[in-house]
Structure 1
Amino acid sequence: MLSVVLAPFAASLLAPFLVARLGDRAALVLALVPAALFGWALANLGEAYPGRVEATPWVPGLSVPLSFNLDGLSSLFTLLITGIGTLVVLYAGGYLKGHARLGRFFVILFGFMGSMLGVVLSDNVITLFVFWELTSLTSYLLVGFEAQKPEARRSALQALLITGTGGLCLLAGLILLAEAGGSWELSDLALSRSWLQDSPLYVPALILILLGCFTKSAQWPFHSWLPGAMAAPTPVSAYLHSATMVKAGVYLLARLEPALAGSEIWLYSLLVIGAVTMLTGAVFALLETDLKLVLAWTTVSALGTLVFLLAPSDEPSVKAAMAFLLVHALYKGALFMTAGNIDHEAGTRDLTRLSGLARVMPLTFAAAAMASLSMAGLPIGLGWVAKELIGTAKLADDIGFTLTSATIANAMVFAVAGIAALSPYLGKRSEAAEHAHEAPWTMLAGPLVLGALGLVFGMLPQLAADALITPAAAAVLGQKPVLAIAIFKGVDWKFLLTLATFAAGAVIYLLWRRFGAAWRDASAPILARGPDRGYDRLLAGLASFATWLTRLMQPGVLHRYVGASFVVVALIVLASAFRGRFTLAMPSDGGLVVEWAVILLTGAAAIVTALATTRLLAVTALGVVGLGVTMIFMVFSAPDLAITQFMVETLVVVILALVLIRLPGFQLGTPQQRQGPAALLLAVAVGTGTALLLLGVLAEPFDTRLAEWFAAESVPGGQGRNVVNVILVDFRALDTLGEITVVAAAALGGLAAMMRVGRRRADAPPQSNLGEPR
């Protein structure tokens, strides 16, 4: 399975070379990679239940393996990612034919494909999170592929910020979950529900994980990034909305359902958020005129439906969720590709400018019609089977609003299916249709195949049930359910309710055709205050807060910076000193005369430095403080440090003296301008805290293990008897090299600055005493 995950990344490395050599025909070669992975997933369907786990050591020191789990749920997602991915690669070759950055597009697309495979196959929590974040990064690059467009840059950043913030919540939640469950493997956590939900970490872990999943799968109120992602090219939209990123959150909810489900917070969070998202997406879809945005909002509604179905965590709901997941992937991928065909060939996606396309784009119309049958849930489409399972799941639940919410959303989605299948294609040929023609075969293969699959599975539902839906449901439920599907089960009140839903959807479609413009005008002021506007205001508020904080923390006054640093040091030191047991090692011998002499000299010099009114006196006194430190090193038998300190202090004093010559005056300020009691208090706090910290450290027994190890390893490991030198050049070689590099870079920068100043002065004309050129 590791090879399966890495294969798309390998293809992404080859993509630029293939595109440079073959042009858009490289898509035919690159499509073989996901096609081969699709064949592998088909060949391994027999192992979907009970599943197979493989692990490869990755970070053994931290016990983090690359572990992967192939069961019914991951098999279903793998088939969708690779199967639809094959069609999307072919589609992109035609849609972006001649594009200057086609190679770059395939690099990102295959990186995204590999990341999604890593998400759905990973069994280790850390591995899962790494791939999860890779999907956010690669989707950011895909959405912002047309970087010259401001709307593409904004949408990409919005998607990254929302899903990235959710990713941080998810990481924290997964860590808490692993700590509470006692394992970092998802397959182990699935068996730990009984004691996991008794842990005090369960509620915070669940809330954080839900935030991560809700942001990724565009649940209300985090849904605004998904319609904005329509700024991406259509191949990206088709892939994101059908089988990949937007369903990652739904996948993780289903994967963790055995461990997390069953509590009231799980049930009501998913029910309420799912229902609101489901209805919000359906309503907004009826208020758009851009065909891609109409489909994007139905994706929001479908994701809400999936979350809604996972809430009860019983067998009927899980089976319905898996069936709807499959049917949505098929019809949504097909419909986005047909929308891309229309945009590519007719030059617009505006529904108010499109009609009569069926005559000039008959195959695109056929694909849209087949996909819309499944979307609407009409008989002979797989959507009819999913609708039957969803109805059964809602009726099996004892919460009243679930049936009502699902019925209203289904009626509106039925109307949107009519919009997608009929509005652009039927009626009088519009001006845009006059110049349109059928798309090339690479852009037709995807929608026709996906639309036809929806019909085949709809007419042979047991085929999809046995091969895909039942194993996926078994992975969630922990046991293999019985799923017997019949296209028609007789006339009962559920069947009559379905017919009523169809009738309501048809009425909504007719009303949309007549009053759609009025609806949009009436709702515009309300929609302007929605989550998307809230995102803009939040971002603007964050920028304003950052500006205010920067001005507060970085006013350009050096003593404030120094003071803030010392305040933090004082608080940390004093807080640690008075926390718990604290013992001081007070000197008992009273110290030597020379030690007291050094202390008094250094202290007196420090006081003079603080009270000095001229720069020269301050520099001189500060130099004496440095010499006092040098003498301390000598008293305590550290001559190498003493020599280094002496050299540094000498250079500092000389350099500062030379600089002072060039300064306009030597006064440091009047007594009124100098720092007052606050600075004195801070100095006393830092000094007292540092002294207490040192006395506390000296009170603890000296641990000689590290010193003994360095002494023992100095000769055999570093070939040297000077332990300090061996530590610097061998055991800390990279650290020392870094320090030398920093010092050298600083020296070169200073030298370059002085050379520029010297050159400017040499080139300047001589000045007279009056400031005029001579």
Structure 2
Amino acid sequence: MIVSLFLPVAGAGFAPLLVRILGHRAAWLLAGFLALPFALYFSTMIENGAGTVLSGGFAWAPSLGLNYQWRLDGLSLTFLLLISGIGTLIILYAGAYLKGHPQQGRFLSFIFLFSASMLGVVASDHLLMLFVYWELTSITSFLLIGFDHQRAASRRGALQALLVTGGGGLFLLAGLLLLGQIGGASTLSALIANGPAILARPEAVVALALILVGAFTKSAQFPFHFWLPNAMEAPTPVSAFLHSATMVKAGVYLLMRLFPLFGTMALWQWALPLFGGVTFVIGAFLSLRQTDLKLILAYTTVASLGLLVMLVGIGSEKAVEAAVLYLIAHALFKGAMFMLAGVIDHEAGTRELSGLGGLRGAMPLTFAAALLAALSMGGLPPFTGFLAKEEIYAALIEGRPAIALALLAAFAGNAMMFAAGFTVALRPFLGARRETPKHAHDGPLLLMAGPVILAVAGLLFGLFSTFQHHFLSSPMASAVFGAPLAVEISVVPHWGLALILSLLTIAAGALIYYTRDAVRAFADRIVRAIGWGPDRGFDQFVSALVHLSVRITRILQPGRLELYLTATFIIIAAALLVPMAAFGEWPSFPEPLAWPQLHEAGMMLIAVIGLVAVLVARTRLTAIVSLGIQGFAVAVLYLMFGAPDLSFTQFMVETLSVVILALIMTRLRLETTDHRPTGQKLLDGTIAIACGLGFALYLLRAVQVPFNSALTEFFSHYSKLLAHGANVVNVIIVDFRGSDTLGEIAVVVITGLSILALIRLRKPAPTIGRNGEGSR
């Protein structure tokens, strides 16, 4: 299992090299990096039978209690099969679609990394492992959507997807951490098993709300739906992969995974049907307004995701079964239709409906595959889409008044989806032949294999529904529901209200299709009348955020060094004095007070004289030299009290400081005197006294605490034994605190280089030539 999760990562490493050697034919070899995991998952499904749960993993970071834990059940195994199976076809498809592209190897590498991320999401059992893979899907999708980075639209779509899904990921992280805290476990399986105790905690509502934000942003639920159509700026192989089985279904997967835990909560039961239903209707309606084949399909994907979320929120047995069936059907027909839209664009030169027509004779195989996919999308027998639609209506007519609106949304949405699907499948191929930018014809084998296989699979899954239910639908529905469920619906129509609604849906969808121009014009007028929308709101939000950041930066970082120093020393003084005042930790006055000896008092007096000289100095250069007097006096005190190493360091620092500061003063045009007003001087003096007093009191309080000799004994014992050094101070600095010392040296070097650059930036003074003009 572990190997299957990391095989796509290996594919990402080999892709650029193989493409450089073999060209587009490398796709045949590279597809094996996803085909092998698919074969492993398929054999696992066959050998272990339906409903088997497998788990495993290894210690990832034992000191932090982090484990790489995976878990396979009907839900995760179905997703793994869809991701790896469709991913294999996408690799083949991309080999032909990007044939000759100079960055094809890089593109395939991104696809593999994205596949590995999605496999990790659905296989993860550990919360943090799930979150890491979740964010990797956002990062890799950003790279894929923005692959054509020279186009502004691609960059915008990529950035928008990253900000929306990445921002939602932060909410998800907070929700998962809170869930793990209140559940006392770090794995999804353990948390689900401990469900009743978790739901009894009031924090469970907060955790669910945070998780829903993460799931809704990832699966493009209203009002976060806008990023998904803009992601169509990616190359078509990306669109087909994202919309069929991967990223956009990650949120749906998470909701299905957490259904046994949160499915009975009131927030779950009203939020998911509400947002899912609204997303379903809005996505289907907006798809009718589009004329670009990929955009039509993109908005129908938004609608399909809303339908899935609505069904999971309703949460009855039939609703869960319907969600499972529709997820499988959608992966097949939507993957096929996106790839076929790419075939039309690649071989005819356009995907705009206004420039397409009469291609049935020129592209017969493309037309046949598109028709098969549309029949499944429209819910017609004997396709697997028919099974899903019948089960959807069966779930929504169970007599609960609370879901009457959901039934209305399902009917309207399915009718519009029917019209959108057949618009893509029929409009480019029927009618009068129109001239296209390219000589239209069916694509090569690599380009056609994926959509044909998926379109035919939609038919076979319906004809052999018993096989599908035994190995896929029933185990997946059981894993979602948290109890055994047996999906039994077949392609043989059963008379009842569900079938009547299905027939009415087909009739309404056909009516919308035949009046599509009027419907498109109506949808366009509605959208234009509304005007403002979430997509425009996103731009406004980002613009406002940038402006706010600029304003805050100008306040906090105005470019004045004195303000930075003032703020720094105020915080230092507060950090020293406020805790002692708040907790009553003031030091007691030392008794008896030991008076200094004559030579010690003399050095202290010299330090005080140097301090006074700094304060009364008339020029900055005099103040710098006086500051050096104070520093040398302190260094002598260190020497008197038995710290020669520290004294030597102080001598060096003071010498270099005086030399460097004096050098700067002579090279830069700074004011020679201090022109601060009296009020500013009083403020600065108060802050300086507060800092000095704080350090004095803090050190005095520290020495009054009982001495703990543990560190002294440790360093004394191990300095000779481990570091082979007799000078304990040197050993501490060089060995035990070697990283600190290296950091300090790096700071000194960087500071020196900065000072050198500052000095060299000074331009020489202008000279006056004989003609009176300035020259340099």
TM-score interval (norm. to shorter): over 0.9
Residue 85 (structure 1) shift? 0.5
Q: 1:240 aligns with which of 212, 225, 242?
A: 242
- Counterpart Cα distance in 2 of 1:462 and 1:617: 95
Moved more, 419-428 or 679-688: 679-688
Report what 2:488 is aligned to.
484
Q: 1:630 aligns with which of 621, 631, 635?
A: 635
Alpha-carbon contact 2:311-2:323 (below 8 Å) kept: yes
Q: Deviations over 1:221-247 (max 9, x none)?
A: 112111111000000000000011111
Q: 1:520 aligns with which of 524, 531, 541?
A: 524
**What is the TM-score with the length of structure 2 in the denominator?**
0.93
Report what 2:315 is aligned to.
313
Alpha-carbon contact 2:586-2:697 (below 8 Å) kept: no
Tell whether 2:487 aligns with 1:504.
Answer: no
Q: Percent identity, aligned pairs only?
A: 45
User: What is the RMSD computed on CA atoms of the aligned residues?
Assistant: 2.6
Tell whether 2:359 aligns with 1:357.
Answer: yes
Q: Deviations over 1:519-571 (max 9, x none)?
A: 32452242x41111011111111111111122212222110111122233344
Residue 431 (structure 1) shift? 1.8
Moved more, 533-542 or 727-736: 727-736
Report what 2:477 is aligned to.
473
Residue 691 (structure 1) shift? 4.0
Moved more, 549-558 or 430-439: 430-439
Report what 2:557 is aligned to.
554
* SS of equivalent to 2:433: coil
Q: 1:441 aligns with which of 442, 445, 448?
A: 445
Q: Deviations over 1:623-680 (max 9, x none)?
A: 2332344245345432211221122112212332343334557643445377155434
Q: Measured at CA, do residues 103 and 662 of structure 1 come closer, stay the same or move farther in structure 2, by a change above 3 Å?
A: closer
**What is the TM-score with the length of structure 1 in the denominator?**
0.94
- One-letter code of the match for 2:172? L
Alpha-carbon contact 2:10-2:33 (below 8 Å) kept: no
Alpha-carbon contact 1:357-1:433 (below 8 Å) kept: no
- Counterpart Cα distance in 2 of 1:704 and 1:359: 91
Report what 1:640 is aligned to.
645
Alpha-carbon contact 2:349-2:438 (below 8 Å) kept: no
Q: Deviations over 1:446-493 (max 9, x none)?
A: 111111111111122222111111111222222221221132453222
Residue 738 (structure 1) shift? 3.9
Q: 1:718 aligns with which of 723, 726, 741?
A: 723
Report what 2:19 is aligned to.
19
- One-letter code of the match for 1:19? V
- Counterpart Cα distance in 2 of 1:498 and 1:648: 86
Alpha-carbon contact 1:356-1:433 (below 8 Å) kept: no
* SS of equivalent to 1:55: strand
Tell whether 2:431 aligns with 1:427.
Answer: yes
Report what 2:300 is aligned to.
298
Q: Measured at CA, do residues 263 and 231 of structure 1 come closer, stay the same or move farther in structure 2, by a change above 3 Å?
A: same
* SS of equivalent to 1:357: coil
Q: Deviations over 1:173-205 (max 9, x none)?
A: 111111111111111111011111122432222
Report what 1:141 is aligned to.
143
Q: Measured at CA, do residues 629 and 506 of structure 1 come closer, stay the same or move farther in structure 2, by a change above 3 Å?
A: farther
Q: Measured at CA, do residues 664 and 340 of structure 1 come closer, stay the same or move farther in structure 2, by a change above 3 Å?
A: closer
Report what 1:97 is aligned to.
99
- Counterpart Cα distance in 2 of 1:553 and 1:281: 44
Residue 218 (structure 1) shift? 1.1
Q: Measured at CA, do residues 637 and 266 of structure 1 come closer, stay the same or move farther in structure 2, by a change above 3 Å?
A: farther
- Counterpart Cα distance in 1 of 2:759 and 2:769: 21
Q: Measured at CA, do residues 745 and 681 of structure 1 come closer, stay the same or move farther in structure 2, by a change above 3 Å?
A: closer
Q: How many residues align?
A: 770
Q: 1:652 aligns with which of 639, 657, 677?
A: 657
Report what 1:41 is aligned to.
41
- Counterpart Cα distance in 2 of 1:284 and 1:680: 67
Q: 2:461 aligns with which of 457, 464, 473?
A: 457
- Counterpart Cα distance in 2 of 1:769 and 1:596: 64
- Counterpart Cα distance in 2 of 1:560 and 1:539: 30
Q: Measured at CA, do residues 254 and 599 of structure 1 come closer, stay the same or move farther in structure 2, by a change above 3 Å?
A: farther
Q: Deviations over 1:106-161 (max 9, x none)?
A: 11111111111111111111111111111111111100111111111111111111
The 5 A counterparts of 1:583-662 are 584-593=587-596, 602=607, 605-606=610-611, 609-610=614-615, 612-634=617-639, 636-662=641-667
Report what 2:373 is aligned to.
371
Alpha-carbon contact 1:570-1:685 (below 8 Å) kept: yes
Residue 100 (structure 1) shift? 0.5
Residue 393 (structure 1) shift? 2.2
Moved more, 649-658 or 541-550: 649-658
Report what 1:252 is aligned to.
254
- Counterpart Cα distance in 2 of 1:312 and 1:686: 63
Report what 1:576 is aligned to.
579
Alpha-carbon contact 2:393-2:501 (below 8 Å) kept: no
Tell whether 2:523 aligns with 1:543.
Answer: no
* SS of equivalent to 1:56: strand
Moved more, 392-401 or 438-447: 392-401
Q: Measured at CA, do residues 702 and 213 of structure 1 come closer, stay the same or move farther in structure 2, by a change above 3 Å?
A: farther
Q: Measured at CA, do residues 51 and 597 of structure 1 come closer, stay the same or move farther in structure 2, by a change above 3 Å?
A: farther
Alpha-carbon contact 1:24-1:98 (below 8 Å) kept: yes
Residue 705 (structure 1) shift? 2.4
Moved more, 563-572 or 97-106: 563-572
- Counterpart Cα distance in 1 of 2:768 and 2:717: 67
Q: Deviations over 1:485-509 (max 9, x none)?
A: 1324532223222222222222222
Q: 1:682 aligns with which of 668, 684, 687?
A: 687
- Counterpart Cα distance in 2 of 1:115 and 1:541: 32
Q: 2:216 aligns with which of 209, 214, 217?
A: 214
Moved more, 627-636 or 562-571: 627-636
- Counterpart Cα distance in 2 of 1:522 and 1:480: 46
- One-letter code of the match for 1:329? A
Q: Deviations over 1:66-118 (max 9, x none)?
A: 11111111100110011000110010011000000011111111111111111
- Counterpart Cα distance in 2 of 1:386 and 1:697: 73
Q: Measured at CA, do residues 59 and 657 of structure 1 come closer, stay the same or move farther in structure 2, by a change above 3 Å?
A: same
Moved more, 117-126 or 257-266: 257-266
Q: 2:418 aligns with which of 404, 414, 423?
A: 414
- One-letter code of the match for 2:122? V
Alpha-carbon contact 2:324-2:476 (below 8 Å) kept: yes
Alpha-carbon contact 2:75-2:476 (below 8 Å) kept: yes
Alpha-carbon contact 1:34-1:83 (below 8 Å) kept: yes
* SS of equivalent to 1:53: strand
- One-letter code of the match for 2:441? H
- Counterpart Cα distance in 2 of 1:438 and 1:376: 24
Moved more, 696-705 or 169-178: 696-705
The 5 A counterparts of 1:723-762 are 723-747=728-752
Report what 2:28 is aligned to.
28
Q: Deviations over 1:30-58 (max 9, x none)?
A: 11221111111110014462311111121
Moved more, 472-481 or 98-107: 472-481
- One-letter code of the match for 2:39? G
Moved more, 507-516 or 468-477: 507-516
Q: Measured at CA, do residues 726 and 355 of structure 1 come closer, stay the same or move farther in structure 2, by a change above 3 Å?
A: same
- Counterpart Cα distance in 1 of 2:297 and 2:344: 14
- Counterpart Cα distance in 2 of 1:100 and 1:478: 49
Residue 689 (structure 1) shift? 3.9
- Counterpart Cα distance in 2 of 1:295 and 1:513: 17
